[in-house]
A and B are shown apart, each in its own frame.
Chain A
Amino acid sequence: MNRSPAAPLPRVSGGAARSAHGPNLGDRAWSGLLGLLGGAVLLIVGVVVLALVHVARPALKAGAGTFVSSSDWDPVSGSFGALPFIYGTVVTSVVAILVAVPISVGLALFLQEMGPRKLRPVVSFGIETLAAIPSVIYGLWGLFVLVPALRDHLEPFLGRTLGFLPVFRGAPIGLGYLAAGLILAVMILPTIASVTTEVLKTVPASLKEGALALGATRWEAIRMAILPYSRAGILGATLLGLGRALGETMAVTMVIGNSPTISPSLFAAGYSLPAVIANEFAEATGDVHTGALAGLALVLFGVSLILNSAARLLVRMVASGPSRAVAS
């Protein structure tokens, strides 16, 4: 064979190189390294759970049962009833969801199905910016902008018009469940809106076109074809938002009023799980107090794991539905 004399790669004599172990050492080392790095993620979660349980142990030993059943939180006298915090977390999250979901879904529908295409990059840039703003800045804004606005305008107005509902009764002080819920709504909006947009993108165009071809208006096509198809995905987006709302700390701490009480009025000051941890952990009086706060964190962790798993499964169900391009 008239091969050039300067064949650059020395050919292994006897043809194909043989190595005792199949694939070469470099490949196996690389696979091993990558496997370790992937395993590190699992390891981190394991360490997190163990460390949490470890810090919470003094309180768990002292009887965790009273944790969720009692509403009396008084670290000095050693009573750790978490009900006011759980209540506050639930109420603020519900307010956040009730406000954020319609806005986010409306926004996603408008961008994806109704409004001019040119709007999309502008609005999604805005949404990404919302998501990137640190929560302490939301808290600052909430404290000095939202709270006064609620106190002076929205709460008196709601009291006048809807005051027959117990949730809108009471003195308009600004700080409280409503302020926390609204600031949470702003903060979880990007999550819900962007996941919903992704979900809407997976709706086959043929579904919508089919409805439009039958003479449906655009809104009817959305109601008949698009919303039913993406319902599970929107639910998943909502759960993701809920997960964020439950665990959001700084902004809530700054505007909820930090009062360990339970009150039916949204205008009243309250407390939330992350807020009490933020406020008391650094100065906790003894192991049991620290442990009780860590126990609250454990509750938060468990709930967020459940919510996020459910949300991811729902979103994935939609995404992997009929058509999903196979990645490389």
Chain B
Amino acid sequence: MSAAAPPKIRVEGLDAWFGETHAVRDVSLDVRPLSVLAVIGPSGCGKSTFLRCLNRMHELVPGGRATGKVTLDGEDLYARGVDPVSIRRRVGMVFQRPNPFPTMTIADNVSAGLRLNGWKGRLEEIVERCLRQAALWDEVKDRLHSPATSLSGGQQQRLCIARALAVEPEVLLMDEPASALDPIATARVEELMHELKARYTIVVVTHNMQQAARVSDQTAFFYMGELVEVGDTETIFTNPREQRTEDYVTGKFG
């Protein structure tokens, strides 16, 4: 991907509030297509909020609102008349805690987004493809019709990734996708991000510096709602411009 390619996502002057809480302050950054952007920062600094602003999930919290400009392939997501539902089909999300639909089987979870959106057609191939993409196929291929809740936490999280992939998003937002997982499951999810990067643009929030360094091409450091610094991951971790960034990535605070 050449540096001259237009950004997949461009954020300009983004502010977000929950009621009186000013959670994101004047953030501007670009996300390159088919890359992984890691968002790091101490707890409560607005990482999740920032992520949610990218597919307008922030609107679902009572009192949640955002101003500024977020464009996806050049289109303003916040423009009047834009349907957030169609944005969320293009910008998928994976949450911190695995949240498979408990009333559905494994296969039905994967195809849920398609079925709920009224898509009619053969689902088996899509289910298999997405489970393969999420590196879960081999573990569940013999019990596709057992309840999703019968899976382990790490498997559930990969199931949620498969579910998000099934609606063919262009961007995948991941909010601490591995924080509820053990080291082995974490390693699988990290591997997965590497593979998914070939087809999707990924923004991932993480508390784990090593993880950010391993999986991302670019890293953004947030502090108290502000974007302190964003740049190539290597630069952020070895030679950051800001003292605060250096302190944080070297573990001096946070």
Contact = CB atoms under 8 A, between A and B. Distances in A.
Q: Are chains A and B touching directly in their complex (CB below 8 angstroms)?
A: yes
Interface of A: 1-4, 6-9, 11-12, 14-20, 22-24
Nearest to A7: B168
A8 B114 contact: yes
A16 B86 contact: yes
A6 B121 CA distance: 11
Contacts of B166: 8
B129 A17 contact: no
Contact of B199 (A3, A6, A14, A16): A3
A310 B87 CA distance: 47
Contacts, number: 59
A11 B73 CA distance: 14
Nearest to A21: B81
A14 B73 CA distance: 10
Given A9-B89, A24-B85, 17 more contacts: A1-B34, A1-B199, A2-B199, A6-B126, A8-B126, A9-B114, A9-B168, A14-B75, A15-B72, A15-B73, A15-B75, A16-B79, A16-B87, A16-B90, A18-B83, A19-B81, A19-B83
B11 to A, nearest CB: 16
Contacts of B77: 16
Given A3-B199, A22-B81, A17 B114 contact: no
A16 B119 contact: no
Q: Which of A4, A15, A17, A18 has the most CB of B within 10 A?
A: A15
Contact of A16 (B75, B125, B126, B168): B75
Contacts of A24: 83, 85
Nearest to A27: B85
Contacts of B126: 6, 8
A134 B81 CA distance: 56
B83 A2 contact: no
Nearest to B85: A24
A6 B126 CA distance: 9
Interface string B107-119: 0000000100101
Given A2-B199, A8-B114, A9-B168, A18 B119 contact: no
A16 B117 contact: no
A22 B78 CA distance: 11
Contacts of B85: 17, 24
Contact of B167 (A6, A9, A19): A9
A9 B117 contact: yes
A6 B128 CA distance: 13
B184 interface: no
Contacts of A20: 81
A20 B166 CA distance: 29
A18 B87 CA distance: 11
Given A16-B72, A16-B77, A22-B81, A8 B87 contact: no
A17 B83 contact: yes
A23 B86 CA distance: 11
